[in-house]
């Protein structure tokens, strides 16, 4: 059974603090193993990638790391027509939302006559990591590749492990639909190393995004700096704030939708109704027995789930901000008003008819979101993650004469004579 807490209890603060500091994101220490793999890939390139792929995925890639473009182009023919239609529908909505994120630069001339501005440009190449094998997520392909293409990235590369040679055609169809340039049948830390540093076959990229296991997450951490990354993603999270007017079956299903992702996922209900709390707990027990991934969902719900009772829904606000959840559902009568009071959440789903699962597929916003309370300082994946902002400055002799003397003074104060000289020689000549 999940943890049950009441905000009116004398030990609530300690119990809640202990709960949010569980450290679910802490898995086995794979730092040294990942470091060895990455260094080996840097040193031996394709040969090292091939050996690790044989070892971990039981796949011989001596015939080539790259998936044949003709196989990609024909993948949709091997898929159910309804699934392709749903994929196209999702891609259209995701693209439309992300197009609204496209940033605009600006330019102006200030009072001293200096021209200033910014411009945005896309990275030259992006690499997206997509889980493969039995846990294949074509939706993740769309969520990573579509914003990259909207940003204007000319080369989008996908790596996807194919254990025992199993290729999910819907994943390939999603990649083709999204404009992915090339796909490689590799995964794990070796794939991240190949994307970051390049091999004989895989040219390096500038940014790596996408979810993966502990080895992938650690590899992204280690290559950061050589390339950009989106985030270090931990287990999924959902927090539902619900009033008494909800259907317990609906809320239970929402909570379990994240519990079935991973045994370390976190599902939390905050409510002002003891009756709803009991009903949701009962409904979750019934539903767990019906899920294909019931073992995973059960471990998540029993070990990391929580039901928290508050006297009033306004008391939920500070608890939400302290949890800073990846996904926040506000199943209440006035969700917009409550949302205005909340500062920290990766994505907010407003109202009883907006389950988090709609955001995983077709709502439009990105489902790659900050976990492990990192919504306190970061945001979900978007178009600007695949772009850089460059500032522009232009002085003429007159404008440099107006602002340059102050710069000379500051350079001198910092003891940087060459800085001061590069300014003063121009000011003196003027």
Catalytic positions are: 326-327
Structure tokens at 127: 């690499």
Comparing CA positions, the residue from 239, 304, 309 lying closest to residue 276 is: 309
H/E element holding 228?
strand 228-229
Tell me how far apart the alpha carbons of residues 403 and 113 are, in angstroms, rounded to a whole number.
10
Give the burial class of 51: count Cβ atoms within 10 A of its Cβ; 0-12 exposed, 13-18 middle, 19 or more buried.
middle
Structure tokens at 243: 């009033």
What residues form DSSP beta bridges with 122? 387
* CB under 8 A, 24+ apart: contacts of 87-92: 87/138, 87/142, 87/170, 87/173, 87/174, 87/177, 88/177, 89/362, 90/139, 90/142, 90/361, 90/362, 91/142, 91/146, 91/174, 91/177, 91/178
Structure tokens at 308: 């928290």
Determine the distance from the C-alpha atom of residue 381 to the mean position of all C-alpha atoms in its chain, rounded to a whole number: 5
Would you say 316 and 341 are in contact if contact means Cβ atoms under 8 Å apart? Answer: no
Tokens 């992006």 found at: 126
For 253, other C-beta atoms within 10 Å of its C-beta total 17
Comparing CA positions, the residue from 169, 167, 142, 170 lying closest to residue 156 is: 142
Comparing CA positions, the residue from 201, 128, 193, 136 lying closest to residue 163 is: 136
């Amino acid at each position: 059974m999940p943890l049950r807490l009441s905000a009116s209890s004398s030990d609530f603060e300690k119990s809640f603090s202990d709960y949010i500091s569980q450290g679910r994101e802490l898995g086995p220490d794979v730092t040294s193993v990942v470091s060895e793999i990455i260094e080996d890939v840097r040193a031996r390139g394709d040969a090292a990638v091939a050996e690790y792929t044989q070892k971990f995925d039981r796949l011989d890639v001596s015939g080539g790391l790259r998936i044949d473009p003709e196989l990609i182009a024909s993948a949709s023919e091997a898929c159910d027509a309804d699934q392709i239609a749903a994929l196209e529908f999702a891609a259209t909505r995701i693209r439309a939302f992300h197009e609204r994120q496209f940033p605009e630069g600006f330019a102006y001339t200030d009072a001293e006559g200096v021209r200033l501005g910014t411009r945005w440009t896309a990275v030259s190449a992006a690499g997206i990591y997509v889980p493969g094998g039995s846990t294949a997520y074509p939706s993740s392909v769309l969520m990573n590749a579509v914003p990259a293409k909207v940003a204007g990235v000319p080369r989008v590369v996908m790596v996807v492990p194919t254990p025992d040679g199993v290729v999910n055609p819907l994943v390939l169809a999603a990649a083709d639909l999204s404009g992915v340039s090339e796909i490689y049948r590799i995964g794990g830390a070796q794939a991240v190393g190949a994307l970051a540093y390049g091999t004989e076959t895989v040219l390096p990229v500038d940014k790596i995004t996408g979810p993966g296991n502990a080895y992938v997450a650690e590899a992204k951490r280690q290559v950061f700096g050589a390339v950009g990354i989106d985030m270090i993603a931990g287990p999924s999270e959902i927090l539902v704030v619900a009033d008494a007017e909800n259907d317990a079956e609906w809320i239970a299903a929402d909570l379990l939708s994240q519990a079935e992702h991973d045994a370390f996922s976190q599902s939390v209900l905050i409510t002002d109704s003891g009756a709803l709390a009991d009903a949701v707990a009962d409904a979750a027990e019934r539903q767990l027995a019906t899920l294909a991934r019931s073992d995973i969902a059960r471990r998540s719900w029993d070990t990391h789930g929580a039901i928290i009772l508050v006297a009033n829904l306004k008391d939920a606000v500070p608890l939400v901000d302290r949890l800073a959840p990846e996904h926040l559902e506000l199943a209440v009568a006035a969700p917009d008003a409550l949302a205005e009071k909340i500062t920290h959440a990766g994505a907010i789903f407003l109202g009883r008819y907006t389950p988090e699962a709609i955001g995983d597929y077709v709502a439009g916003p990105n489902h790659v979101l900050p976990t492990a309370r990192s919504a306190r300082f970061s945001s979900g994946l978007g178009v600007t993650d695949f772009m850089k902002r460059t500032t522009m400055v232009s002085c003429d002799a007159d404008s440099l004469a107006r602002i340059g003397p102050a710069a000379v003074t500051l350079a001198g104060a910092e003891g940087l004579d060459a800085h001061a000289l590069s300014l003063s020689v121009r000011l003196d000549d003027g």
